């Protein structure tokens, strides 16, 4: 019985037993006719840990373009010719304003993102100063910084300024990483995730599905994220951007596979925040609302250089599902 087969994985997740490699592959290969049973199993686990709440996150493109790295999917890399906004770090007032916009949009977390492999001393200081000001005015708003590779000292200074969380995506499996980027390694990225966790920041690290990885490599990436102890896992689905090396790459995704991938993440990482991230509108299409059965978090409004759906559509989707937005500070 399909229903019992997937429900036993929910049972296993709820008693703290890890999803095995074989089970994860079975989830990814689930027959489409069993998708509803699989979603029900993933939702059982999501409901146990997060109820019907949906966490909203707001992205601030605090410094855009000018990156010296060559990540194949990224419009801000040195090899990209995509037309994107390019600007140096926003001023403190602009970052404070952006945080206020996050609250207006009902987000409980504001993610301050800069492009580059590592932040300069000036950028780190600028973000820390803005974080202090934002926290003074809006202590209920959670702040996440995504500034590239940082060391222990930098992580400590961000934590002291009021930054709660640090995002640094592993992006794909270690075995697939050289196909996606040659200027730094998967191990470089994993080191930063470890460093921020040790410094007492909440680690956030996710990936992009559809980079040409095999199913085995998607499981490898999922398990690496699980084992890294990350609290929050943004799951992006590749949006090929014209002018990037992956601009004409076919991510080979369909909405049902995207849902199965999200279910695998929920069953493998039961108590972590699983965030439905970029590409959800394009790749999930009309099945998008179903993704909130495994996932408990989304980005509201636009992505860094790509538009997202209107916030009102997200609010309506959440309401129509009978779910609720998690208030800031809860």
Which residues here bind ligand SF4, judged by CB under 6 A?
67, 69, 71, 74, 76-77, 115, 117
Closer to ligand SF4 by Cβ: residue 69 or 314: 69
Question: Which run of H or E residues covers position 232?
Answer: strand 232-237
Closest distance to ligand SF4 from the beta carbon of 117 (Å):
5
Contact 291, 262 (CB under 8 A): yes
CA dist 214 and 237 (Å) reads 14
Nearer to ligand SF4, 136 or 182 (CB): 182
- Evaluate whether 95 touches 62 at the Cβ level (below 8 Å): yes
Rounded to the nearest whole angstrom, what is the least distance from the CB of residue 86 to ligand SF4 in the complex?
12
* Nearest by Cα to 215 from 10, 2, 21, 19: 21
Q: Quickly count: other Cβ atoms within 10 Å of residue 58's Cβ.
A: 25
Residue 310 beta carbon to ligand SF4: minimum distance, rounded to whole angstroms:
26
Dihedral sign of CA atoms 27, 31, 32, 36 in order: negative
- Min CB(181)–ligand SF4 separation in Å: 7
Q: Which is nearer to ligand SF4, 99 or 304 (CB)?
A: 304
Q: For the CB of residue 67, give the shortest distance to ligand SF4 in the complex, in Å.
A: 3
Question: Nearer Cβ to ligand SF4, position 60 or 318?
Answer: 60
Q: Which is nearer to ligand SF4, 67 or 99 (CB)?
A: 67
CB of 149 to ligand SF4, least distance (A): 9
Q: Which is nearer to ligand SF4, 245 or 270 (CB)?
A: 245
Measure the CA–CA gap between 177 and 234, rounded to whole angstroms.
Answer: 18
To ligand SF4, the closest distance from the beta carbon of 78 in angstroms equals 7
The minimum distance between CB 285 and ligand SF4, in angstroms, equals 26
Residue 71 or 155: which CB sits closer to ligand SF4? 71
Least separation, in Å, of the C-beta of 165 and ligand SF4? 17
Taking residue 330's Cβ as centre, other Cβ atoms within 10 Å add up to: 8
Distance CA 258, CA 238 (A): 11
Instruction: Report how far residue 256's alpha carbon sits from residue 137's, in angstroms, rounded to the nearest whole number.
Output: 43
Q: Which string of DSSP letters, residue by residue, matches 253-289?
A: --HHHHHHHHHHHHHHSTTSEEEE-TTHHHHHGGGGG
Distance in angstroms (rounded) separating the CA atoms of residues 118 and 183: 13
Q: How far is CA 188 from the centre of its chain?
A: 18
Cβ atoms of 64 and 304 within 8 Å: the answer is yes
Residue 5 or residue 118: which is nearer to ligand SF4 going by CB? 118
Quick one: 67 or 141, whose CB is closer to ligand SF4? 67
Say what angle helices 35-50 and 2-14 make with each other, to 10 degrees. 20
Residue 42 and residue 261 in contact, taking contact as beta carbons nearer than 8 Å: no
């Amino acid at each position: 019985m399909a229903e019992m087969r997937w429900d036993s994985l929910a049972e296993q997740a709820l008693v703290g037993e890890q999803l095995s490699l074989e089970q994860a592959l079975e989830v990814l290969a689930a027959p489409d006719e069993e998708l509803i049973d699989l979603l029900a199993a993933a939702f059982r686990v999501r409901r146990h840990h997060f109820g019907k709440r949906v966490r909203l996150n707001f992205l601030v493109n605090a410094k855009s373009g000018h990156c010296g790295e060559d990540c194949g999917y990224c419009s801000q890399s040195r090899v990209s010719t995509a037309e994107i906004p390019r600007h140096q770090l926003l001023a403190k007032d602009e970052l404070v304003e952006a945080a206020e916009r996050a609250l207006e949009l009902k987000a409980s977390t504001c993610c301050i993102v800069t492009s580059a492999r590592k932040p300069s001393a000036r950028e780190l200081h600028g973000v820390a100063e803005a974080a202090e000001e934002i926290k003074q005015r809006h202590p209920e708003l959670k702040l996440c910084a995504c500034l590239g590779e940082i060391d222990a000292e930098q992580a400590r200074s961000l934590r002291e300024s009021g930054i709660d969380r640090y995002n640094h995506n592993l992006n794909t499996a270690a075995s697939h990483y050289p196909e996606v980027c040659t200027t730094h390694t998967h191990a470089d990225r994993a080191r930063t995730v470890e460093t921020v966790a040790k410094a007492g920041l909440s680690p956030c690290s996710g990936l992009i599905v559809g980079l040409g990885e095999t199913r085995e490599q998607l499981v490898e990436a999922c398990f690496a994220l699980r084992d890294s102890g990350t609290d929050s896992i943004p799951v992006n689905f590749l949006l090929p951007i014209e002018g990037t090396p992956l601009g004409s790459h076919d991510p080979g995704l369909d909405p049902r596979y995207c849902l199965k991938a999200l279910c695998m993440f929920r069953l493998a990482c039961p108590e972590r925040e699983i965030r439905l991230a970029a590409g959800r509108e394009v790749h999930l299409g009309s099945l998008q609302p179903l993704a909130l059965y495994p996932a408990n978090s989304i980005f509201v409004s636009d992505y860094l250089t790509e538009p997202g759906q209107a916030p009102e559509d997200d609010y309506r989707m959440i309401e129509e599902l009978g779910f609720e937005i998690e208030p800031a500070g809860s």
